[in-house]
Homo-oligomer: A and B are copies of this chain.
Amino acid sequence: MTVDLSARQRILDAAAGLLSERGYGETSLRLLASEVGIKAASVYYHFDSKEALYTEVLQAGMDIMIDRFEAVEEADFDSGRSRLQAHVSGHLDALHSNLQYTALHVSEFRTAPATVRTQLVPRRDEYESMWTALLTAVLPETPATEISILRLGLFGAMNSSIDWFDAAKGGLGEFSDVITDAFWAGADNRKRRIAS
């Protein structure tokens, strides 16, 4: 009954790394297997197919982001702005602490096989709706269409950091500040301008 999960996990980790670095088509099962120290055929003992493995890696990436969002929500906030700030920090930290899994979701989802994409849509929608609810709560009186645009812009800005962020050059803190400032003040300013 004791199942050894470590080999399976090692395959998942290696797959996440290779997939996010090289893309789906350029990552062969033989290369992946050699990274783990086994043969390609042995991957099939743990996973049904390359697509199933891909799906599971992407699923794990999404779970990481959702878990973090829920953890952040546990805290108490003295303002809408600090709540937004905490979530921006949380998203960025979760993103970069598990880059192989999460970056894959940002950069490779679009070109993933249709069967893979379909399985992931519900979980992605779930995460998006969490953010929509958050923005609606901290930016009341902002129309839904604008909330939607803000969320997409915010996601774009945050997720782009996987392409350029270099931990050696400084923390994510400053980026987190700038982004929060931008979308907070921007929305606020816009609201006042339109109201007048």
Contact = CB atoms under 8 A, between A and B. Distances in A.
A59 interface: no
Given A26-B24, A107-B110, A155-B160, A188 B185 contact: yes
Interface in A133-184: 145-146, 149-150, 152-161, 163-164, 174-175, 177-179, 181-184
A108 B23 CA distance: 9
Contact of A153 (B25, B26, B152, B179): B179
Interface residues of A, number: 42
B146 A152 contact: no
Nearest to A112: B23
Nearest to A179: B153
